[in-house]
Structure 1
């Protein structure tokens, strides 16, 4: 297993950042631009994923890092649930849902 010196080098953190950027782009779409509650929820959970990975890494203790990875995983689940709700409500299309969900 590789030894990482910075959280920015972690592939999982980089992946979470890409998803977060895509969520920022999504909430600016016409169907979501004025849905402030959905925007806040989406951004909150998306940002939480990468932030918890970073915070846990910085504690420099495996036990703490694992705990923060669990929190991050929970935020990822929350984000997936929100995306499914938006898909079901017609706020996003299937292509957008699949693009983010499978990313």
Structure 2
């Protein structure tokens, strides 16, 4: 199946859902520096998938997928801190971390396909 638009990429779709969930979950948090950082990292995952795809070069796409994967790790790191700061509950954190790990694996598989 040939992907015509980045919106068709499952990793982008999952990253978008993760981003929406993080925005909603952290809306009441008053630690604006923390909130801004995790939100920007989450947005970076989906946007790097989109930007890389739009470059129309496998080499550039692969680079942007690596950047997205790095941002996904940053989100995971921030989620761990959010739990330790009692910004989010343990179960919610575990669910979101699992989702970041799934997205990261999707990105890794996509990178392998471009090799």
Q: TM-score, normalised by structure 2?
A: 0.83
Alignment-derived partner of residue 66 in structure 1? 62
Q: Return the offset for 1:27.
A: 1.4
Which of 35, 42, 49 lines up with 2:45 in the alignment? 49
Which of 69, 73, 97 lines up with 2:93 in the alignment? 97
Question: Which consecutive unaligned segments of at least 5 residues does structure 2 have?
Answer: 100-115
Q: Return the offset for 1:23.
A: 0.7
1:61-89 Cα shifts (integer Å, max 9, x gaps)? 10000000000000000010000011112
Higher helix share: 2
Matches within 5 A, 1:1-103: 2-29=1-28, 32=29, 34-103=30-99
Q: Return the offset for 1:48.
A: 0.3
Question: Which consecutive unaligned segments of at least 5 residues does structure 1 have?
Answer: none
Q: Which stretches of structure 1, 4 residues or longer, exceed 3 Å deviation after superposition?
A: none
What is the aligned residue count?
A: 99
Higher RCO (Cα < 8 Å, 6 or more apart):
2
The worse-fitting range, judged by mean Cα deviation, of 17-26 and 86-95 is 86-95
Q: Return the offset for 1:26.
A: 1.3
CA RMSD of aligned residues (A): 0.9
Q: Return the offset for 1:92.
A: 1.2
| Matched position secondary structure for 1:90 | coil
Q: TM-score, normalised by structure 1?
A: 0.92
